[in-house]
């Protein structure tokens, strides 16, 4: 057996058939539930689980425009005047 060398199974980059079928079923159910309108309702009614979903679909690595691919984040704080 070749140590450290892949000798069988799927070729790199070929999706698992079960994963592909499950993704198609989920997208079909989303379409039947109302698509974007349904997701918008979930964002308002169930913000925690909706944000968790957002975290799952965002890319794991994001390259920014800053030095060495860093991101530049500007935070603006606004404080309401108290009476």
Number of domains within the chain: 1
Tokens 């606004």 -> residue: 78
pLDDT digits (tens, 9 = 90+) for 5-39: 767 777 777 777 888 899 899 999 999 999 999 99
In angstroms, the CA 51 to CA 48 distance is 5
- Among residues 81, 32, 23, which one has the least CA distance to residue 57? 23
Structure confidence at residue 71 (pLDDT): 63
Q: Is 32 part of any domain? A: yes
- How many whole angstroms separate alpha carbon 55 and alpha carbon 39? 14
Q: Is residue 35 part of a domain?
A: yes
Residue ranges making up the domain that contains 57: 17-69
- Residue 75 within a domain: no
Residue 10 lies in a domain: no
Q: Which pTM does this prediction carry?
A: 0.53
- Residue 21 placed within a domain: yes
């Amino acid at each position: 057996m070749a140590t450290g060398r892949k000798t069988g199974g799927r070729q790199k980059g070929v999706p698992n058939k079960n994963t592909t079928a499950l993704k198609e079923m989920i997208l079909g159910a989303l379409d039947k539930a109302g698509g974007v309108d349904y997701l918008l309702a979930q964002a308002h009614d169930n913000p925690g689980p909706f944000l968790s979903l957002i975290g799952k679909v965002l890319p794991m690595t994001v390259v920014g425009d800053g030095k060495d691919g860093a991101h530049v984040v500007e935070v603006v704080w606004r404080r309401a005047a108290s009476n």
